Amino acid sequence: MAQIIKNKDGVTLLDQEKSVARQLFALFIAATLTGFVTYLLPGHDSWHQWTYLMHSFVGIVLALIVLPYTYTHVKRTIGVRKPFVILAGSIGILGLVTLVGSGLHIIIYGQLEALSWIVQIHVIVSELIVFVLLLHIAMVLWSQKNQRRKKKTANFPTLTSSASRTILATNICIISLIAMASFIYEQLSTTYNDAAAVNPYDLDYGPHPFRPSQTETALENHFVDARRIAGSDDCGTCHEDITRQWMASMHRQAATDQTYVSNISLLAEKKGISSTRYCEGCHAPVALLSGQLTKGGKHGGITGTLGNTEGVSCMACHGIQKIVHLKGVASYEFTPKNDYLFADREGYIFKTVRNFLIQIHPQQHKIDLANPIIQDSSLCATCHAQFMDKDVNNWGWVKMQDEYSAWLESPYSGQSEQTFSHENVKRCQDCHFPLISGSDPSANKQGLVRSHFSLGGNTAIPWFVGDKKQFERTRDFLQSNKINISIEKPTRLDAKQSKVLIRNEIAQNTETPSYFYLGETANIRMTVTNTQVGHDFPGGTIDINQAWLHFRVIDAQNKVIFENGAIQTDDDTVDPTAHFYRAIAVDRQGKEVWKHDLFNMIGERNRNVIKARESDIVDYQFNVPGWAKGPLSITAVLRYRKLNIRYAKWALKQENVELPIVDVAKDTLTIPLRDKRPIE
pLDDT at 311 over 50: yes
State phi, psi for 282 to the nearest 5 degrees. -100, -35
pLDDT at 161: 60
The string of pLDDT tens digits covering residues 424-460 is 789 999 999 999 998 899 999 999 999 999 999 999 9
pLDDT band at 641 (very low <50, low <70, confident <90, very high): very high
Judged against a pLDDT cut of 50, whether residue 562 lies above it is answered with yes
Task: Please answer whether residues 425 and 415 qualify as being in contact, where contact means their C-beta atoms are separated by less than 8 angstroms.
Answer: no
Please give the pLDDT value at position 68: 78
Q: What contacts 24+ positions apart, CB below 8 Å, involve 566-572?
A: 567/661, 571/645, 572/645, 572/658
Q: Taking Cα atoms as reference points, which of 437, 433, 457 lies closest to residue 446?
A: 437
Tally of CB atoms within 10 A around 583: 20
The predicted pLDDT at position 13 comes to 61
C-alpha–C-alpha distance, residues 143 and 454, integer Å: 68
* Cβ neighbours around 191 below 10 Å, total: 11
Task: Inform me whether the pLDDT recorded for 610 exceeds 80.
Answer: yes
- CA–CA separation, 289 vs 217, rounded Å? 8
pLDDT, residue 384, reads 96
Rg (CA), the chain: 36
Section 61-73 average pLDDT: 79
More confident residue, 153 or 199: 199
Higher pLDDT, 68 or 339: 339
CB 285 within 8 A of CB 292: no
Q: How confident is the model at residue 501 (pLDDT cuts 50, 70, 90)?
A: low
**pLDDT-derived band at 147, boundaries 50, 70, 90:** low
Query: Would you say residue 63 has pLDDT above 90?
Result: no
Q: Is the peptide bond before 200 cis (omega within 30 degrees of 0)?
A: yes
Question: How large is the average pLDDT for residues 243-266?
Answer: 97
What's the mean pLDDT in 30-46?
90
Distance spanning both ends of the chain, measured CA to CA:
124
- Distinct helix (H) and strand (E) counts, the chain: 22, 19
- Asked whether the predicted pLDDT for residue 7 surpasses 70, the reply is no
Contact 93, 101 (CB under 8 A): no
pLDDT at 189 over 60: yes
Are the beta carbons of 209 and 291 closer than 8 angstroms? yes
The three-class DSSP label of residue 525 is strand
What is the structure's pLDDT at 570? 87
pLDDT of residue 154: 47
* Nearest Cα residue to 15 out of 154, 166, 157: 157
If you average pLDDT over residues 306-325, what whole number do you get? 96
Torsion angle (degrees, nearest 10) of CA 322, 541, 537, 589: 120
Residue (of 97, 75, 66, 88) closest to 136 by Cα position? 88
Q: What is the DSSP letter of 482?
A: S
**Given a cut of 60, is residue 368 above it in pLDDT?**
yes
Rounded to an integer, what distance in angstroms lies between the CA atom of residue 294 and that of residue 71? 70
Which among 18, 160, 161, 138 is positioned nearest to 76, based on CA atoms?
Answer: 18
Helix (H, G, I), strand (E, B) or coil at 371: coil
As a whole number of angstroms, the distance between CA 632 and CA 384 comes to 44
DSSP state of 12: B
Cα(429)–Cα(669) distance, rounded to whole angstroms?
Answer: 37
pLDDT tens column, 70-113: 777 777 767 666 676 677 677 777 888 888 889 999 999 999 98
Torsion of CA 345, 351, 356, 358, to 10 degrees: 60
Residue 274, helix vs strand vs coil: helix
Task: Identify the pLDDT of residue 106.
Answer: 93
Q: Please provide the average confidence, as pLDDT, over all residues in the chain.
A: 88
Among 90-99, 227-236, 558-567, 639-648, name the one with the lowest average pLDDT.
Answer: 90-99
pLDDT of residue 130: 75
pLDDT, residue 152, reads 46
d(CA 100, CA 513): 79
Task: Identify the pLDDT of residue 578.
Answer: 97
CA distance 622 to 339: 69
Least confident interval from 58-67, 179-188, 438-447: 58-67
For residues 542-562, average pLDDT: 97
| Residue 142: per-residue pLDDT | 63
Beta carbons within 8 Å of 138's beta carbon, 6+ residues apart: none
- What are the DSSP E strand ranges found in 312-405? 320-323, 332-334, 385-388, 398-402
Burial label, 544 (beta-carbon count in 10 A; 0-12, 13-18, 19+): buried
Q: Can you give the three-state secondary structure of 57-111, one letter per residue?
A: HHHHHHHHHHHHHHHHHHHHCCCCCCHHHHHHHHHHHHHHHHHHHHHHHHHHHCC
Instruction: Quote the CA–CA distance of 207 and 98 in Å, as a whole number.
Output: 60
Q: Span 566-593, mean pLDDT?
A: 95
At residue 257 the predicted structure's pLDDT band, cuts being 50, 70 and 90, is very high
Q: Which residues pair with 562 in a beta bridge?
A: 553
- In angstroms, rounded to a whole number, what is the distance separating the alpha carbons of residues 279 and 302? 14
Q: How confident is the model at residue 3 (pLDDT cuts 50, 70, 90)?
A: very low
Report residue 577 CA to chain centroid gap: 40
CA of residue 589 relative to chain centroid, distance? 42
Residue type, 376: D
Q: Beta-strand (E) ranges in 541-649?
A: 546-554, 560-564, 579-580, 584-586, 603-605, 615-623, 632-641
Higher pLDDT, 541 or 164: 541
- Among the listed ranges 418-427, 505-514, 623-632, which one has the minimum average pLDDT value? 505-514
pLDDT at 290: 97
Distance set, CA 334 to CA 378, 419, 482, 510 (Å): 15, 38, 34, 65
Residue 264 has pLDDT above 80, yes or no: yes
Looking at the predicted structure, is the pLDDT value of residue 210 above 90?
A: yes
Q: Across the beta sheet with 216-217, what order do the strands follow?
A: 216-217, 332-334, 320-323
Sign of CA pseudo-dihedral 365, 370, 371, 372: negative
CA angle centred on 21, ends 20 and 26, rounded to 5°? 105
Of residues 129 and 579, more confidence is placed in: 579
pLDDT tens string 510-530: 566 789 999 999 999 999 999
pLDDT higher than 70, residue 407: yes
pLDDT score recorded for residue 1:
41
Better pLDDT: 62 or 465 = 465
Other Cβ atoms within 10 Å of 421 Cβ, number: 16
Q: Is 51 left (phi over 0), alpha (psi -120 to 50) or beta?
A: alpha
At 588 the pLDDT is 93
Question: What does the pLDDT look like over 660-671, one tens digit per residue?
Answer: 999 999 999 999
Identify whether the C-beta of residue 442 lies closer than 8 Å to the C-beta of residue 221. Answer: no
**Long-range CB pairs of 267-271, under 8 A, 24+ apart, other chains included:** 267/597, 267/599, 268/299, 268/301, 270/597, 270/599, 271/392, 271/599
Q: Are 88 and 136 in contact (CB under 8 A)?
A: yes
Nearest Cα to 634, choosing from 669, 667, 674, 662? Answer: 669
Q: Is the pLDDT of residue 155 over 50?
A: no
Strand 673-674 vs strand 516-517: parallel, antiparallel, or unpaired?
A: parallel
Q: Which whole number is the average pLDDT over 368-381?
A: 94
What backbone phi and psi angles, to 5 degrees, belong to 599?
A: -70, -10
